[in-house]
Structures are given as structure tokens and as C-alpha cells.
Chain A
């Protein structure tokens, strides 16, 4: 009998089952790569110390620091102390934990440090068919290369450190089928905001999404990562894209990608990963990617997004909606375009890779941002920073009046002191517009790097198609 056709997810899952699930117990799932950062790991290492356990596979574990680290060059390289004591303590604690447990650390001043979801793919550690976890919900980013990658809590971080395994119930599968090419001025960020708007912020709960369809072939790896990154914003555990020639070309020659014979063997394996014809998904949703317009959020969750030229919807009788608009200081029925903004943030694991910076710089080149506006450009990793500098992008940003920083999560979550002021409006290329996410009382409008750059020039929400 022919083998039952399988989805990409099912293939990766099955290859990592140490013990299959039963009605009484979840599956024991093997983890190929465990990424660790300073904020969600201290309590996990503490648990190991308490139980006198070691890290089972330090060779499958990589730590870095990104969430609470400073982005000013003075604090990182100029000898100035880390301004926030508690952040300095977390940094120290990770250094100590990694030393004690034998875990490799790309530490504060390491040339390969960066946002954990940017450096995994960049180093070539993220590979098709791997299982990857991290104590961070945007671990879904790595799925862009055909890995099964998802976020876990700190207790689970301890589980993986100690056993390299997790207890997991098998999630359901959701196919998001995309057709057509993105229009001019439209990016992967707009596409994922449109998809989340369609699915709803909990529409993916309990599911692993596979993004598929003819649109995928038109997207480069950075765009695919942007897409998978925000899967969690639809409630999904993971987002995946089948590996193809674009994926292989991206990985070839990366510092930690396989070489020689191992590369050939890996390629054979990777080519067998895409979903088989006839495989079944638990749910399917179709999205016309060609029809997507530049998107922007107006509310306090990523599902509250509209095309940039649209009006903020009215939802009379919905107190939660009313509260969101009150927090945002915006009115139902009004256009979002031309809303004045105070801050523009280009950064985060969603949109701070080299192509994102190039896109923004192309618009800013030879122009200046609006007076009174603060603009922060924070590369996703130190490697992205150096690559951008090699092309002169830093000069473009600085001459336009923006700040050019060292890499990290920065204003995406405002843990390191890079915050948006109370009541201020920020256009942000990050992934969450929750109340207070970018600082207490901050008002976040999520958008693409293109829309962010266009809006920076005018100091108000601007349709990038008017400028590019």
C-alpha cells in the first residue's frame, strides 16, 4: 500500500517522536536546537541547579542576549555601564549559567550576537526539518526554513535543557494558501497583517500553519521569516514554509550550515520535506496575496489592522473595541492616514533584517525625517548591522535624522529603556501593539518598514505608494 501522504509538519513531527503520544500521555518530542536568551532562562537554570541536573546536549544549545540589552554603542562598547541594573544582572546571570553548564554564548560584545530569531537563520543553524524551540513566542520565525519551531515557557526551557525533549500533544494543521504576487509598495508584513485580520488573533490556536501557494516562490527568505514570525499573533504555535531552492541558496555557505558530503545528504533529506500531494490539513484558508494593500493597525492587538487608506471600523456596542480606541486616542469611522506620529521604530525579529533596512533606506535616501520626530533604526543582529554599514545604509539613516543603534529587541518591548512615551504614537515594524508594549501608555501602529519610512518623512501615517 502506498504511504499516506503527509504534510511538512507531520514529517518533521514524526521524525522527532521519541515516544508517540497515547490517550494517557503526550508525545516525547526531541528538540534539535534550543535557543536561549537572558530573560526567560534564569529560572530554568535555577531549576537545574536545584535538581542537580546538567545540560544534556550543550552542543544543541545556543545562548545569546537580546531582550534587555542596551542598544547604545556607549553602553555596549564605550565602557559605560548598562543603565538598568536589573538588566545588567540578567546579562551577568546568563554569562554565569552558560559558563557553569557549558553552553555556548554569543555574549554582549560578540560579533554574531543579535535577536535570537535573526541569528539562528543567519548562522545557518536553523535548517529545514529541524525541531527548534526557544523561550520566546516568535520562535515561529524559524519555520520559514521548513523547521518546526515554537515558543515555550521557562519550565519547558528547563525540560529541554535537562532532557533535550518536550512533552507535547500533536497540534492540528492549518494551510494558508496564498495566490498571486504582492503589489508595488506591499511587503510580507502587510501580507501577514492581512492574514491575521482574516484568521483573527485566536484563529490559529492549537494549530501549526503552513503557508503555501504560488506566492511563496516570489518571496525571499527575509520575507518568509516575516510571515512565519507573526504566526503566533494569530494564536498559532508555529508557522512553516516548505524548503525550496530559495531556502537552499540562502543556507549554502552559512557558518554553521553543513558542508561537503553532509550538505549533499542534507539536501536529499530536505527535498523530501514538502507536503505530499493529496496530504490533508485539518483546516484550509485561501488568501489572495495580490489583492493585499499596505496594512496598518489602529487598535491594541495585531488583528485590528486595516488597509492604510481605509477608515477605522465602527463597532457600536463593543466595549472592548471602544476601550482599545480610547487607549489609542483614535475615533471609529475616521481615516488612519495622516494621523500624526511621534516615533518611528524600525527593528525587531519581524522586520530588522538586511532587506528590511534596505527597503527603508531606499525611501529615506537623500531625504530628511519630519521635524520633532524620533526615529530609531535597530538592526536585528550585529551581522546585519555590519552588512548594512558596508552598504552605507547607516549613513542614509543618520543623514535622514534617524538614530542608528546596536542590535537587540529594543523598542519592540521596551525592556532595555528604549521606550515610547506615554500617549505618544509610534509606527513600529515590530509585531505587537498591545497596550503598553512599547512603554507604559505608548500607542503603537504596526506597519511595514516601507510604511514606517514613508511616515517618518511626513511625520504622519503615510501610504508608501505615494512616495515610492
Chain B
């Protein structure tokens, strides 16, 4: 995994609450057996009409969204199905961070494992971000801070181990495998 240290990008805003993983990537695209290429299907039913043509009004289809790597979303983003395809689709599309007041547990875990940073902010910050799509933000993961366009910073919580893994580009599997002796001992006790 690529290390994640800092990121500067403009935002795309999807203000709806409870955006579930079925919206992020509809089930009919889960028949894939690889991780690649899901970015094209990201938010498929919001992004494309029945004929497959882009819906001009959907934010990802607007020119301003090009190159944006930060998604700002309403509360409880990523709820529902555990499909990691949601995190794969977002990162394959080019997103590297998701900001919300609330992020669903399984999605948050999946995001962290794919170098997609879930950032929790308080209500006033979220309100401001939702009201200012396209705002340019700075993220400093080592400091767990988010810099707003006026230069002010807000800090965000992140589980220390997840942060360590992201900063170093480590994956958890290596860490678990290194515990083989403890796992052996546990199995002998059980």
C-alpha cells in the first residue's frame, strides 16, 4: 500500500445522509473477481441514466469535480452492505479521503485497508464543508489535522494503529502474520 502522509485537494460534496454502499456500488457490479476498474461504476445509478448516459446534474459529472480527491458526505456514510467494493470503487475513481460527521463501521475499516482516509469532523465543520463544495483542503495525517481554506485547522480522530499503517504504507496482514507464535499458543490453550 502507498503511504499516506499529506494531501491537498478540492472537495466534491454529496450532502445526503445515510449514503449506503449499494449506492456507492450497486450489487450488479459485484460479480467481478478483481479489485480493478470499479471507479467507472462508482455511484452508477446516480451518475448514469437508464441508457448509460451521464446525468449532467450529478456532481461527479460536472467539470469542477475533475481531479478532486476528497469526498465530503452527509452523516452515516457507507452504511449497509460490507462490500469492500465500495472502498475499491472510491479509490479507483481517485478519492483518497472521505469526510463526514459519521462513517459506518465496516466501511471505515474497509477504507483504511485501501489507503482511503475516513475523516470524522464535528457538525459545524461539516456544515461549512457541505456549504462550500470545491473548497481546497489540506490533510496532514501525522498531525491528524485538516486545514481549511482560511488557514484554520481542525483535528480529527483516528485510531493510532490505523494511522501508523497508513503513514508507513503497511498492511495489517503482515502484522497479524508476525503474531504466529501467539496464535499457535492460543490454539494450544483452547
Residue positions of A touching B, CB distance < 8 A? 18-19, 23-26, 28, 30, 39-40, 42-43, 46-47, 51, 53, 56, 67-68, 84, 86-87, 89-90, 93, 135-137, 151-156, 158-159, 162-167, 169, 201-202, 205-206, 232, 235, 237, 301, 319-320, 323, 413-415, 422, 432, 434-437, 440-441
Contact = CB atoms under 8 A, between A and B. Distances in A.
Interface stretch (B4-12, B60-68, B140-148, B172-180): B172-180
Interface string B62-106: 000000000000111001111111010000000000000010111
Q: Which are the 4 A-B pairs with shortest beta-carbon distances?
A: A86-B31, A42-B33, A153-B110, A153-B84
Interface stretch (B18-26, B121-129, B131-139): B18-26
B33 A90 contact: yes
Given A89-B31, A415-B27, A18 B82 contact: no
A233 to B, nearest CB: 8
Nearest to B16: A320
Nearest to B111: A153
A319 B16 CA distance: 8
B110 A415 contact: no
B105 A237 contact: yes
Nearest to A44: B84
26 contacts: A24-B164, A26-B161, A39-B83, A43-B33, A43-B35, A46-B33, A51-B173, A53-B177, A56-B183, A87-B31, A89-B31, A90-B31, A135-B82, A135-B84, A137-B80, A154-B110, A159-B176, A165-B179, A167-B176, A235-B79, A235-B105, A323-B16, A413-B81, A434-B22, A435-B45, A441-B45
Contacts of B177: 53, 162-163
Interface size class of B (residues with CB under 8 A): 35 or more
B179 A19 contact: yes
Contacts of A165: 176, 179, 183
A205 B80 contact: no
A24 B80 contact: no
Contacts of B17: 320
Contacts of A441: 45, 50
Nearest to A155: B113
A151 B106 contact: yes
Contacts of A152: 82, 106, 109
Given A153-B109, A155-B110, A235-B104, A167 B186 contact: no
B56 interface: no
Contacts of A436: 22-23, 26, 45
A86 B32 contact: yes
Given A28-B182, A135-B82, A413-B81, 4 more contacts: A135-B84, A153-B84, A323-B16, A413-B27
Between B23, B27, B160, the greatest number of chain A beta carbons within 10 A of the residue's beta carbon is seen for: B27
B28 interface: yes
Contacts of A30: 183, 186-187, 190
Given A19-B182, A26-B159, A436-B45, A415 B18 contact: no
Given A202-B75, A320-B16, A440 B182 contact: no
Contacts of A89: 31, 33
B183 A40 contact: no
A153 B106 contact: yes
Contacts of B83: 39-40, 153
Contacts of B32: 86
Given A40-B84, A301-B20, A414-B27, A156 B33 contact: no
B79 A201 contact: yes
B173 A159 contact: yes
Nearest to A23: B160
A154 B87 CA distance: 11
Contacts of B82: 40, 135-137, 151-153
